[in-house]
Amino acid sequence: MDQVFAPWRIEWVEREDRNEDVDGCVFCALPDREEARESRVVAASEHAFVLLNNYPYNPGHVMVIPRQHTGDYRDLDDAVLLDHARLKQRTFDALETALSPDGFNAGLNLGRSAGGSIGDHLHTHVVPRWAATPTSCR
Ligand SMILES: [Zn+2]
């Protein structure tokens, strides 16, 4: 097995958890904070918001999160589903403008066996992808 050293991720590995003062669900608490932007909330709509990922796979890795606290996608009503989908569209637009990726991965990890770390509050990962790794990241 090859070992990969990714020095650009060390600040994320070594950082203190900035969310440790949040009681209960972090995804319910963050968008209502006064300093929401410092908590990495970068966009918001009526029923959803966009949060920079604490442990990004790539630059620009964000999560589009419904405000409704549930781990079951089937609980979302039409208004929340549409708002969440439209905010994902705006997220693709913003990331394309800012970072010019060649593509995206976007999806939900539902349940721990699917890789979900926070299982009781849905969140859609949006990860920009590039065809070639920039020279500075090798
Ligand atoms: Zn929640």
Q: What is the DSSP letter of 35?
A: T
On whether the CB atoms of residues 65 and 48 are closer than 8 A, the answer is: yes
135 CA → ligand 1 middle, Å: 39
- For this structure, is 84 an active site residue? no
Query: Which pLDDT score, from 0 to 100, does residue 1 have?
Result: 47
Q: What is the pLDDT of residue 116?
A: 75
Candidate list 47, 84, 123, 125, residue with the active-site label:
123
Q: How far is the CA of 30 from the centre of ligand 1 (A)?
A: 9
Q: Please check whether residue 25 is in contact with residue 68, taking contact to mean a CB–CB distance below 8 angstroms.
A: no
Which is nearest to 50 in space by CA: 17, 24, 83? 83
Ligand 1 centroid from CA 2, angstroms: 38
- Measured CA to CA in angstroms, residue 96 lies from 4, 60, 127 at distances of 28, 10, 11
Mean pLDDT by 10 residues, the chain (138 residues): 53 49 81 77 95 89 96 96 98 97 94 80 95 63
